Structure formats: structure tokens, C-alpha cells
Amino acid sequence: MTIAKLRTRVKICGMTDPHQVSHAVDHGVDAIGMILHATSPRTIDVARAKQIRRVVPPMVSLVGVFVDCDTNVINQMIAEIGLDFVQLHGAESDADGQSLTRPYIKALRVQNRQHVVDQIKQFPTAAGILLDPYVEGQHGGTGKLLDPNFWPSDSTQNLILAGGLSGENVADRILSLNPFAVDLNSGLEQAPGIKDPRLVAEAMRAIRATY
């Protein structure tokens, strides 16, 4: 028997500032994402990540985003920062994910529907699969929306929709694709890494209206 999902979970990613994290938590976010990949405009160092850890309360998850990082280094960061989940946003394998000390979310940079279906099978132990549109030369944070035709609606994985989501489009996408979770990032920003509190509040309101 399939049980209907009561609500879509929400992750806000690319967070760099503890005050902005507290604001997002107050608005009902389920997960906070931090980019721990050095060349991203949203990257933060371990000291800042630890400050963010201190303001993330119980029942809200803290996710570290990595791109093709050595798994020993990721495990060190998990221990040092106190990450709850890891998001692997590069060319990592399921074996890489299994060598981590926390559950992992695999981000797939989607090129077409068949590519998604084939790729999902390669990550049987992932806690979730995040689908982000493929953009040549960029790992993530592209602001580009995923083509809804590429959404693998019959997958049994926890699917997370990412890419270009904002208060203006997130409710439509939730209602049409029914993802397990949505991941919002550049669509809520004033500048890379700086969230706009009004855009965060507006997106959370739009998401709540879909329940």
C-alpha cells in the first residue's frame, strides 16, 4: 500500500550565515545545506560551518555539500563539524557514499530522462537522490530549472528536486512532480551566499500552501 505524502520536505542550501540559518529555521525549513567545495561562490570554511552547526536545532538536519572530495577528508569534516548528511555533487560512486560515516544524498546532473533512470540504479544505498539540471562546466547553483519531462515519477527513491527553485515556481513544481523534498538555493539570494529573508519567507509560505 502506498501512503500519500503529507508534505514536501524543504532544504535551503548555500547557507553562509548563522543569522540567516536561524531565520530559515524559524520559517520551518527541514534541512540546511552548506557548500564545502572550495571553488563555489557560496563556499564556507570549517570555522564558519561550526558556527552554523551551533544554531541548527534538533529535528533540523545539517547537510554538507561536496564535489569529488576525498572520502577521508569528508569523514574528517563530518566529525569536526557534526554533519547529519552529506550531499555528493560530483562524479562520486555508491562505494564512495558507503565509505562515509553519515548517510549520503547523491546529486545527479540530469541530461535526459533515460540518463536519470540509468543513473539512479547506480546508487542503491543513497538516502536520497537529488536531481539538478546539467549545465556544462558547472557543478551546481546554476539557477536553471529541471525539465519536468526528465522527472522519474515511478522511482521508489526519496527524490529531491533542485535547480532554479524560488517562491514563484516551487508550489507549481511540488504539485506537478510530488517530490519527497525540494532544495532551494540561488533563487532565494540577493547575491551568491546571501539569502534574502523576504524571498525565504515567501518561498516557505508558497510551499506550506501546497499541504
Ligand X SMILES: O=C(O)c1ccccc1N[C@@H]1O[C@H](COP(=O)(O)O)[C@@H](O)[C@H]1O
List of residues contacting ligand X (CB under 6 A): 13-14, 33, 35, 37, 40-42, 65, 67, 89, 130, 132, 139-143, 162-165, 183-187
- Residue 69 a catalytic site member: no
Report the alpha-carbon distance of residue 64 to residue 87 in Å, rounded. 6
Nearest CB to ligand X, comparing residues 130 and 152: 130
Output the CA angle 93-97-100, nearest 5 degrees: 145
Output the CA angle 104-186-54, nearest 5 degrees: 55
Given the residues 45, 68, 118, 132, select the one marked as catalytic.
Answer: 132
Please state the closest distance from residue 2 (CB atom) to ligand X, in A: 26
The answer to whether the beta carbons of residues 207 and 171 sit under 8 Å apart is: yes
Q: How many other CB atoms are found less than 10 A from the CB of residue 89?
A: 26
Q: How many CA atoms lie within 13 A of 201 on its CB side?
A: 5
Q: Which residues contact 27 (CB under 8 A, 6 or more apart)?
A: 200, 201, 204
Please state the closest distance from residue 170 (CB atom) to ligand X, in A: 10
Please state the closest distance from residue 186 (CB atom) to ligand X, in A: 3
Nearest CB to ligand X, comparing residues 2 and 21: 21
Nearest CB to ligand X, comparing residues 144 and 208: 144
Cell triple for 151: 522527472
The answer to whether the beta carbons of residues 171 and 209 sit under 8 Å apart is: yes
Given the residues 13, 69, 96, 183, select the one marked as catalytic.
Answer: 13
Nearest CB to ligand X, comparing residues 20 and 186: 186
- Residue 13 a catalytic site member: yes
Please state the closest distance from residue 184 (CB atom) to ligand X, in A: 6
Catalytic residue numbers?
Answer: 13, 132
